[in-house]
Structure 1
Amino acid sequence: MKAGRLAWAPAVAAVAAALSAGCAPSSPDGGAQPAPSCAYVVEYDGRTYLGREETTVPLGRSLGPATRPACDDTPGDGDDGEGPVATTAYAVRGVDPAVAVAVADDGGTHRLVVAESVEDLPTELRKLTGGS
């Protein structure tokens, strides 16, 4: 009986190795190190907002200055990373600014950012984001 169980050991090890290879982080050049990337974070009115992909949102009035904090996603690589970036926060029509705002982004677009305290998007925001 013991020999029968040992016969499966190489097969189990091969499957485990194949599955774990898919879990390793990867980089654009195929190396094992993950590609550096700073999260799109915005600070406005004492709150932290997290960026989303949407850049077409109905803008309301300008709310004032906002900041993308400094980011050094690869410490020890010899550069200082990105410094803080000043931007402007705008209301999103129909949405409480405590829930989400839009910020001026590169290229003349405005990116939707949602307060990190928000767990479930309210109905008015789900309509703007296609339900996601």
Structure 2
Amino acid sequence: MSWTGRSIGLLGAAAMVMSVAACTADSGGGGASCANVYTYQDSSYRDVANVEFTLGKKLGVATQPPCDDTGGRDESEEAVTTQTAYEVDGISPEVAIAIGDTPKTATFFAVGSGSELPPEVQKMIDGS
């Protein structure tokens, strides 16, 4: 393979890596642009790992907008994703909810911005 062929192959590989990275973190390094974020009743919730919780009653529908990490996406290209929102026992839905297709697949989501979690959620994580 010629030098030109190898260079084009390396540039193509680099472009693929950069496009994958673009979908995982924003240019400021502070957060994910394609993060697992849902909206329920005008509040945004992001997934939180390692939280043990008890599922409460069904609340309604949570929506997840399509990822637009590259800009220029036509709004008609993708529809939003919807899943069922559930209460989390012992915590207000204004603070946290569970989201999933079924109660068995529901995962924990909390309001918050950046790396800060609501104190009620932090207590659940810490086991207090």
TM-score range, shorter chain: 0.5 to 0.7
Tell me the equivalent position of 2:10: none
Give the direction of change, closer, same or farther, for the CA distance of 1:84–1:71 in structure 2 (3 Å limit).
same
Give the CA deviation at 1:45: 1.0
Give the Cα–Cα distance (whole angstroms) in 2 for the partners of residues 105 and 64 of structure 1: 11
Instruction: Structure 2 unaligned segments of length 5 or more: list them.
Output: 1-12, 25-33
Take 1:116 and 1:82, find their aligned partners in 2: how far apart are those partners?
26
Matching residue of 1:87 = 83
Distance 1:90 1:82 in 2: 25
Q: 1:65 to 1:115 in 2, by over 3 A?
A: same
**Counterpart selection for 2:41 from 45, 64, 72:** 45
**1: CA distance, partners of 2:106 / 2:123:** 17
Pick one of 76, 93, 96 that aligns with 2:92: 96
- Equivalent pairs: percent with the same residue? 35
What are the within-5 Å matches in structure 2 for residues 98-117 of structure 1? 98-104=94-100, 108-116=104-112
Larger Rg: 1 or 2? 1
Secondary structure at 2:49's aligned position in 1?
A: coil
Q: What runs of 5+ residues in structure 1 fail to find an aligned partner?
A: 1-28
Following the alignment from structure 1 to structure 2, what is the Cα–Cα distance between the partners of residues 116 and 75?
A: 24
Letter of the aligned partner of 1:90 in structure 2?
Answer: Y
Letter in 2 for 1:65: V
Instruction: Please give the TM-score of this superposition, normalised by the length of structure 2.
Output: 0.59
Q: Indicate whether 1:36 and 2:33 are aligned.
A: no
Show the 5 A alignment for 1:1-132: 33=18, 34=21, 36-37=23-24, 38-54=34-50, 56-75=52-71, 83-104=79-100, 108-116=104-112, 119-123=116-120, 125-130=121-126
CA RMSD of aligned residues (A): 3.2
Q: CA separation in 1, counterparts of 2:93 and 2:117?
A: 15
Contact 1:72 1:81 survives alignment (8 Å): no
Structure 2 CA distance for aligned equivalents of residues 35 and 105 of structure 1: 28
